Structure 1
Amino acid sequence: MNQILTKTPTLDVPEQADLHAPRIAILSASWHEDIVANAVTAARDELSRSSTSPPQVELFQVPGAFEIPLHALQLAASGDYDAIIACGLVVNGGIYRHDFVAAAVINGLMQVQLQTAVPVFSAVLTPRDFHEHEEHQRFFREHFVKKGNEVARACMETLNSLAKLRHSASARHRAQRL
């Protein structure tokens, strides 16, 4: 099945974008978009509050969670992004397929970051029980706000930590050459 990556217009990029601000891609699965969009919005909001120089954020929508790792790999390999955040919801539709999809997505995202050295973060959730009634939908919409905030904070903390590691390694390398 061919899947098309849909890119929304660039988000959260000020007129005079800071060239040193990190560039972050957010991949969002369109299944259960009414719930997943809460993580995307929360992550974007949290990223915009994260520092004096907020990151540049671009949003990409894919059909479902299963398509996220391939798109993450292509975005990471492009060299255009410092980090990637994935958002999706994999639900139990009454068969065990959701277990395989969730494992494939998480394993795929881990492989992307290990192969490319671009950090990849997951707000792809697989609840044990999900029902289409309003109570569960309301719970998960609220839960995805929390997860969006958490994934954005983890992203910025990791980017800062990796920058310190690079700076420290660079300083050691310079000292060794003296």
Structure 2
Amino acid sequence: MSPPSAAAGKRIAFIQAGWHRDIVAQCRLSFIAEMAVLGIAESDIDVIDVAGAFEIPLHAQVLANSGQYAAIAASALVVDGGIYRHDFVADAVISGMMQVQLATGVPVLSAVLTPHHFHAGHEHQEFYFQHFKVKGAELATACAATIRSLQRLENPAAKPHAALAA
């Protein structure tokens, strides 16, 4: 028997940006593994690939408006490519994600990271490869806690979803 879904038949969405895919994928893999520990089956998580971080808010909005998702998590690595636009992109992405969750009531959680000094050398690649594993587990924990908290706020008399009642 598979673990129950996130909340009242709703799913979890995980949006991942394509830039630095090998690093960003570590967040997704760790997120899915930790969600399984928390009682949410991989089959209850939809993974959506987008070109880059900038595309995350629009996809999050479409997913949130569908009514199918208890929460949306997103991961990207936004780096300084030498033309100083990464700060603007990161700010737009995070602001857009916040706007989506406030407008829809569906939590949109972020592991969109913007390191100050990233370069393509092995040392940085390995550091962020490992760091995104940590961030994926943290993102899953935050996702489950947020769903649980919102369930309590929406219906204080009801018991939290069994898979999230910790």
Q: Which has the higher contact order (CA 8 A, sep 6+)?
A: 2
Corresponding residue for residue 31 of structure 1: 19
| Structure 2 gap ranges (5+) | 159-166
TM-score (norm 1): 0.82
* Equivalent pair of 2:15/2:73 in contact (CA under 8 Å): yes
2:83 to 92, 95, 116: 95
Q: Does 1:41 align with 2:29?
A: yes
Shift of 1:17: 6.4
CA distance in structure 1 between the partners assigned to 2:132 and 2:19 by the alignment: 14
SS at match of 2:63: helix
Shift of 1:23: 1.0
Corresponding residue for residue 45 of structure 2: 57
Question: What RMSD in Å do the two structures reach over aligned CA positions?
Answer: 1.9
SS at match of 1:82: strand
1:1-178 aligned at under 5 Å gives the runs 14=2, 20=8, 22-51=10-39, 54=41, 56-168=44-156
CA distance in structure 2 between the partners assigned to 1:127 and 1:96 by the alignment: 13
**Structure 1 residue identity aligned to 2:88:** F
Aligned length: 155
CA distance in structure 1 between the partners assigned to 2:148 and 2:49 by the alignment: 26
* Equivalent pair of 1:21/1:54 in contact (CA under 8 Å): no
| Structure 1 gap ranges (5+) | 1-13, 171-178
Corresponding residue for residue 161 of structure 2: none
Go from structure 1 to structure 2 and tell me whether the alpha carbon gap of 1:47 and 1:21 turns closer, same or farther (over 3 Å shift). Answer: farther
TM-score (norm 2): 0.88
* Equivalent pair of 2:4/2:41 in contact (CA under 8 Å): no
* Equivalent pair of 1:47/1:152 in contact (CA under 8 Å): yes
Shift of 1:54: 3.9
Shift of 1:20: 3.9
SS at match of 1:115: helix
